[in-house]
Amino acid sequence: MKIVNVKEIAEAVKKMCIEANYYLPEDIYGALKEGEKNEVSPVGKDILKDICVNADIAREDGIPICQDTGTAVFFVKLGQEVYIEGGLLEEAINEGVRQGYKEGYLRKSIVENPLYRKNTGDNTPAIIHYEITKGDALEILIAPKGGGSENMSKVYMLTPSQGIEGVKKAVMETVIQAGPNACLPVVVGIGIGGNFEKCALLAKHAITRNIGSSNSDPRMAQLEEELFEEINRLGIGPQGLGGKVTALAVHIETYPCHIASMPLAVNIGCHVNRHMSVKL
Amino acid sequence: MDKRLQVPITEEEARSLRAGEKLLLNGVIYTARDAAHKRLTEQQEKGEMLPVDMENIAIYYAGPAPAKPGQVIGSCGPTTSGRMDLYAPKLMAWGQTMMIGKGLRNEKVIEAMQKYGAVYVTAIGGAGALLSKCVTEMACTAYEDLGAEAIYKLTVKDFPVIVTIDCLGNNLYETGKQEYAEKKV
């Protein structure tokens, strides 16, 4: 058994909130650089260059890459041999968010009631997904998520007869409708299977996967590749102003599902696709 | 070389700009996003005096991050313009000549642009750190209680934008996509 104090958790979360918002992950930065090289539209090429310069400025000056420092989304893997002492895990994470968003000069973008919209003032509460795992490690992944790209995401309750073609059609429809609104080039996270809520969670998790990785099932890896190529033939391009680099990656995650269903979720991640994790 | 443009601009200047032109804005722009637009229209409906002069105003759809000590403004990229579509035609009728944002606009906005003489320019969504370097002064003009959603007066220097929809209805989102699409979907 391992003992982890809530103070240690809050401190780690605080640090992650700041670092995730200041330092663009290497995989995304590399993909943007690669995109800049490959883009054929002069306007698109300039945009990709500016996006990389933007990431450089944020890193050097220690300021947020994007003003939308997002909803603080966490994927927590809690080993069942871990004992949390000193308080509640959830409160520790929220305390870390509170401190990180304040000390890091990050924007507070969360409102209390969705209809009455009073800002909570400290970017809490976070959205936390827990998974109980074996062993004695506590792993926390943060993926701050902006509102612009999140608004363009969709869930489809497809049925089995719609098959792979149905999935492709829905993914393409989502990307086309998202168009210039979602701060392109995007990372497209796709969740197939599970049920209504499970597929959305899979899609969100899929955008946190490193660019360059593929689904371990070769059939799904091939579908990722096909969708990636098809999306980049649309011509939407960086910021939607025309070009070849519309998506930086397509990531699929699947889960078994009911004989009657084939749920599909598409989560759009903008080019500031922040994700980082820590193991305590 | 990108064209330097002094802002705010008149209706006549707005009508002369063309989709695809790259501009560097110099002068004064005001931030306003969802909550400020809602409040402005509510005040107007009640017959109250608006806190900012709408004649020839350039509005930037943005909610900046807080400034660090020594910074003029925190990261300040554009937010999605479409959420302001409901309000934009009213603001153009009151005198707005420039909208600065990112993303698609609806038909009513595009019609109003042609009718009143206003232009839609876009800045790079997600480039908030870079754009913060082009702001030399910032002051809260109204609705301070809204925090990041308040109206801020920004003095900008060489703030980079692209004319995306012009007063003739030319739309770079459509023409750009058509130019680079490899097949019809």
Q: Give residue-wise pLDDT tens across range B125-177.
A: 999 999 999 999 999 999 999 999 999 999 999 999 999 999 999 999 999 99
Residues of A in contact with B84 (CB under 8 A): none
Query: What pLDDT was estimated at residue A173?
Result: 98
Q: State how many domains chain B has.
A: 1
The pLDDT of residue B183: 63
Q: Is A276 helix (H, G, I), strand (E, B) or coil?
A: strand
- Residue A211: both structure tokens together: 């660019």
Give residue limits of the domains in chain A: 2-20+65-144, 147-273
Residue among A41, A181, A242 minimizing CB distance to B82: A181
Is A67–B102 a contact, with Cβ atoms under 8 angstroms apart?
A: no
d(CA A261, CA A160): 6
Q: Using the beta-carbon criterion (under 8 Å), do A67 and B68 form an inter-chain contact? A: no
Cis peptide before B8 (omega within 30 of 0): yes
Q: B106 at the A interface (CB within 8 A)? A: no
User: How far apart are alpha carbons A84 and A66 in whole angstroms?
Assistant: 34
Residue B185 lies in a domain: no
Q: In which domain, by residue range, is B121 found?
A: 3-180
Burial track B85-99 (b if 16+ CB lie within 10 A, e otherwise): bebbbbbbebbbbbb
* Beta carbons within 8 Å of A264's beta carbon, 6+ residues apart: A155, A156, A157, A158, A166, A167, A170, A171, A190, A191, A192, A199
Give B46's contacts (C-beta < 8 A, 6+ positions apart): none
- Which among B127, B175, B176 is the nearest to A50, CB-wise? B127
How do beta strands A73-79 and A138-142 pair?
Answer: antiparallel
Residue of A224, A244, A227 lying closest to A235 (CA atoms): A244
CB of B176 less than 8 A from some CB of A:
yes
Residue A38 pLDDT grade (very low, low, confident, very high; cuts 50, 70, 90)? very high
The answer to whether B129 contacts A57, with C-beta atoms less than 8 Å apart, is yes
A52 touches chain B (CB under 8 A): no
Across A238-262, average pLDDT = 98
* B26 within a domain of the structure (yes/no): yes
Pairwise CB contact (< 8 Å): B129 & A47: no
The number of angstroms, rounded, from the C-alpha of B123 to the middle of its chain's C-alpha atoms is 9
Taking the Cβ of residue B43 and every Cβ of chain A, the question of whether any pair is shorter than 8 Å is answered with no
Structural domain contains residue B74? yes
B77 vs A67, A108, A242: nearest CB: A67
pLDDT tens-digit series, residues A156-179: 999 999 999 999 999 999 999 999
| Averaged pLDDT for residues A267-280 | 97
Q: How far apart are CA B83 and CA B62, in angstroms?
A: 12
Residue at B45 is within a domain: yes
Cβ of residue A172 closer than 8 Å to a chain B Cβ? yes
What is the spatial distance between Cα B103 and Cα B33, in angstroms, rounded to a whole number?
14
Query: In chain A, whose CA is at the least distance from the CA of B125?
Result: A183
Q: Do A180 and B183 touch (CB under 8 A)?
A: no
Confidence (pTM): 0.96
The ipTM assigned to this model is 0.94
The answer to whether the CB atoms of B66 and A106 lie below 8 A apart is yes
Distance, CA of B30 to CA of B46 (rounded, Å): 23
Contact with chain A for residue B129, Cβ under 8 A: yes
Q: Which of B68, B103, B104 sits opposite A105 (nearest CB)?
A: B68
What is the pLDDT at residue B143? Answer: 97
Structure tokens at A263: 């749920």
Residues of A in contact with B36 (CB under 8 A): none
Strands of chain B, DSSP E: 3-7, 22-31, 58-60, 98-101, 119-122, 135-142, 151-165
Q: B35: domain CATH number?
A: 3.20.130.10
Minimum distance, in Å, between the CA of residue A5 and any CA atom of chain B: 31
Mean pLDDT value across chain A: 97
Least Cα distance to B64 among B32, B87, B37, B41 occurs for B32
Which residue type, as a one-letter code, is found at position A237? G
Q: Which of B130, B131, B158 to mutate to test the interface with A (most CBs of A within 10 A)?
A: B130
Give me the helix-helix angle, A6-22 and A89-103, nearest 10°: 40
Instruction: Please report whether residue B63 resides in a domain.
Output: yes
Please report residues of B whose CB lies closer than 8 A to that of A119: 147
pLDDT digits (tens, 9 = 90+) for B69-121: 999 999 999 999 999 999 999 999 999 999 999 999 999 999 999 999 999 99
Portion of chain A with pLDDT greater than 90, in percent: 100
